[in-house]
A and B are shown apart, each in its own frame.
Chain A
Amino acid sequence: QVQVVESGGGVVQPGGSQRLSCTMSGFTFSSYGMHWVRQAPGKGLEWVTFIFYDGSNKYYVDSVKGRFTIFRDNSKNTVYLQMNSLRVEDTAVYYCARGSGAAATALDYWGQGILVTVSS
């Protein structure tokens, strides 16, 4: 069965940095693209970023371009989200999710979510 462990959240000051990790097991991690999705407190889901199965291509929502970087280490079955120049509006629960199906658009396994709070 698929297992997911996320780590790296916490409280960070505006302008600071944080790195999230998501380790998945139970399947061939290197064969799947991976997404990060976030949810601000009391708000809806927002797609943040996607990385190809081999790390060769990455895509971002406009609001995080130039500040966030997604990358992966297939030898560790782990995908990361490096977040720099954090803003108060980046406060959210961040979920990693596996992309399946056509164009990896079916997010079929999700992490438990990790809270990142940006506050002074």
Chain B
Amino acid sequence: QSALTQPRSVSGSPGQSVAISCTGTSSDVGDYNYVSWYQQHPGKAPKLMIYEVNKRPSGVPDRFSGSKSGNTASLTISGLQAEDEADYYCCSSAGTYTSVFGSGTKVTVL
């Protein structure tokens, strides 16, 4: 149950696109289409942004999209906005009803 690997930080200017990778193994990301992504602003609870690899909950802007290839999942933010500056975490199933989070990525809007 080791944490999934994410880049420590990514940055982009307003309007640009950024992508965050989430690398696991064949026992978690590679084995399940149950990858979700969470946005967390400082001092706040996480917010679900993407679930089941590429599904968006109602209310989440379509600027946020998810994908997966092999053992790596990705979150793409298109048309970056100031309010997107936050920490982002991926999460994957890691076995029957167990989960593992990624190490977290800080997104900075320049």
Contact = CB atoms under 8 A, between A and B. Distances in A.
Contacts of A59: 96-98
Contact of A113 (B36, B45, B91, B100): B45
Contacts of A37: 46, 101
Interface string A42-59: 001111001010000101
B36 A47 contact: no
A103 interface: yes
Contacts of B48: 106-108
B84 interface: no
Interface residues of B, number: 27
State which size class the interface on A falls in: 20 to 34
Nearest to B87: A44
Contact of B57 (A97, A104, A106): A106
A33 B99 CA distance: 13
A39 to B, nearest CB: 9
Interface string B6-48: 0000000000000000000000000001101010100001111
A44 B89 CA distance: 8
Contacts of A111: 45
A106 B97 contact: no
Contact of A50 (B34, B40, B51, B98): B98
Given A110-B45, A112-B45, A113-B45, A47 B100 contact: yes
Nearest to A4: B45
Interface of A: 33, 35, 37, 44-47, 50, 52, 57, 59-62, 95, 97, 100-108, 110-113
6 contacts: A59-B96, A61-B98, A102-B52, A105-B91, A110-B46, A111-B45
Interface of B: 1, 3, 33-34, 36, 38, 40, 45-48, 51-52, 55, 57, 89, 91, 93, 96-104
